[in-house]
Amino acid sequence: MSCALCASVNAAEFTAEMMIHFSGLRNIDHPGVLVLQKVSVCLDCGVSRFTVAERERALLAGDTPTIEAATRREVLTNVALRQRIAL
């Protein structure tokens, strides 16, 4: 498939881990949505394409953190607190 920007056929597919964050101060405590996908990258101009799976799209559309994400945030907070105490 050719690149939508430069029409090059010089592309490669990679596995990617992306954290999609919601913008704005009201979302400062929102952990974001982890997306694990294949990414197609044009090796000439850098344009990249990926598709977000249905589960992650639902999380993005709902704009609400999941129980799993809330638990992850608690774990990270506890680790951060332990590091401060150790210092």
- Cα separations (Å) of 66 from 2, 18, 54, 73, 78? 37, 17, 15, 11, 19
Cα 23 from Cα 11, distance rounded (Å): 30
pLDDT digits (tens, 9 = 90+) for 5-39: 999 999 999 999 999 888 888 888 888 889 888 99
**47-59 confidence digits (pLDDT tens):** 999 988 888 888 8
Sign of CA dihedral 41, 42, 46, 52: negative
pLDDT at 29: 84
pTM of the model: 0.58
> Are the CB atoms for 65 and 74 separated by under 8 Å?
no
Q: Which residues contact 24 (CB under 8 A, 6 or more apart)?
A: none
